[in-house]
Amino acid sequence: MSRAVTTRRKTINTVLAWSIGFLIFFPILWTILTSFKTEAQAINDPPLFLFFDWTLENYAVVQERSDYMRFLWNSVIIAGGSTLIGVMIAIPAAWSMAFVPSKRTKDILLWMLSTKMLPAVGVLYPIYLIFIELGLLDTRIGLVVVIMLINLPIIVWMLYTYFKEIPGEILEAARMDGASLREEIIYVLTPMAVPGIASTILLNFILAWNEAFWTLNLTAAQAAPLTAFIASYSSPEGLFYAKLSAASTMAIAPILILGWFSQKQLVRGLTFGAVK
């Protein structure tokens, strides 16, 4: 009897999990499907799901109109650069907060997080003026710095949470064996926190990849990443949904593939310390 219940429960859980997964993935699936339709099919009522004349025309048009590789390369540099620099700054910061906390550590952590509560547009003009002064407008380095700073609180928080799970005694033992602070962080702490660091890197890479406010406002022709590429296909006067969907699919494809191959590491990192 209990065996039957377990099987039934398993089936229900599986169906439920797949249903929720499908529901979450549906907008992306619909975008991908629309990208293979003609503009007339894209607005058809009732909507066409699978049975339509599949076409690659939209991809050809997008490829002809836009320099996709330039946008892609900018996205890789901006997302990759901001994440790596952010992690390099955040590891020592999170180490100090996790293993050498002071009376103000919690306050500092909260203060860092509170910077995320300010609407980005509130600081657009000051940052724009600073960028003009420093000649950073429409440069990849400028965006790397801004996006790194925006995501830094999240990186520090995530790493802090992972580091808190590592017993301090292990680091203490390394210190007693003569390890310097640098060696302690690089050779002892980092290898133990690899799953956490990996998931932090992946999550922040995705956040940086999808960041649209700053990338749209601080770039023009040279440093514009894939978010600007998608925005260029949105039209208030004309139905170009199929082309917009093709552009969106091309923009999310690299991150989807990356997520697919690293899902094991991502899940392991995100659930790190969740079950004791």
Partner 1 sequence: MSLRNAFLAATALALVSTAAQAETITIATVNNGDMIRMQGLTDDFTTKTGHTVEWVTLEENVLRQRVTTDITTKGGQFDILTIGMYETPIWGANGWLIPLDDLSEDYDVDDILPAMAGGLSHDGTLYAAPFYGESSMIMYRTDLMEKAGMEMPEAPTWEFIREAAAAMTDRDNDINGICLRGKAGWGEGGAFITAMSNSFGARWFDMDWNAQFDTQPWADTLNFYVGMMNESGPAGFATNGFNENLSLFQQGKCGMWIDATVAASFVTNPNDSTVADSVGFALAPDNGLGKRSNWLWAWALAIPAGTAKEAAAKQFIEWATSKDYIELVAEKEGWANVPPGARTSLYENPNYQAVPFAKMTLESILSADPNNSTVEPSPYVGIQFAAIPEFAGIATEVSQEFSAVYAGQQTVEEALEKAQAITNDAMEAAGYR
Residues engaged in binding partner 1 (CB under 8 A): 39-40, 43-45, 65, 124-125, 128-129, 131-132, 137-138, 216-217, 220-221, 224, 228, 231-240
In the complex, minimum distance from the CB of residue 166 to partner 1, in angstroms, rounded to a whole number: 44
Q: Quick one: 125 or 260, whose CB is closer to partner 1?
A: 125
Q: Quick one: 45 or 169, whose CB is closer to partner 1?
A: 45
In the complex, minimum distance from the CB of residue 76 to partner 1, in angstroms, rounded to a whole number: 20
In the complex, minimum distance from the CB of residue 45 to partner 1, in angstroms, rounded to a whole number: 6
Question: What's the chain's Rg over C-alpha atoms?
Answer: 23
Q: Quick one: 53 or 169, whose CB is closer to partner 1?
A: 53
In the complex, minimum distance from the CB of residue 241 to partner 1, in angstroms, rounded to a whole number: 9
Q: Quick one: 45 or 53, whose CB is closer to partner 1?
A: 45
- Euclidean distance between CA atoms 52 and 34, whole angstroms: 10
Identify whether the C-beta of residue 171 lies closer than 8 Å to the C-beta of residue 184: yes
* SS3 state at 119: coil
**Which structure tokens are listed for 178?**
């003569």
Q: Quick one: 120 or 179, whose CB is closer to partner 1?
A: 120
- Euclidean distance between CA atoms 136 and 143, whole angstroms: 8
- Euclidean distance between CA atoms 41 and 30, whole angstroms: 13
Q: What is the DSSP letter of 47?
A: P
Q: Name the nearest CA neighbour of 40 among 58, 17, 63.
A: 58
Q: Quick one: 82 or 227, whose CB is closer to partner 1?
A: 227
Q: Quick one: 137 or 185, whose CB is closer to partner 1?
A: 137
In the complex, minimum distance from the CB of residue 150 to partner 1, in angstroms, rounded to a whole number: 18
- List b or e across 158-167, with b for residues whose CB sees 16 or more CB atoms inside 10 angstroms: bbbebbeebe
- Euclidean distance between CA atoms 55 and 188, whole angstroms: 54
Dihedral angle of Cα 89, 91, 93, 95, to the nearest 10 degrees: -160
Q: Name the nearest CA neighbour of 149 among 214, 100, 101.
A: 214
Q: What is the DSSP letter of 185?
A: I
In the complex, minimum distance from the CB of residue 250 to partner 1, in angstroms, rounded to a whole number: 15
In the complex, minimum distance from the CB of residue 268 to partner 1, in angstroms, rounded to a whole number: 38
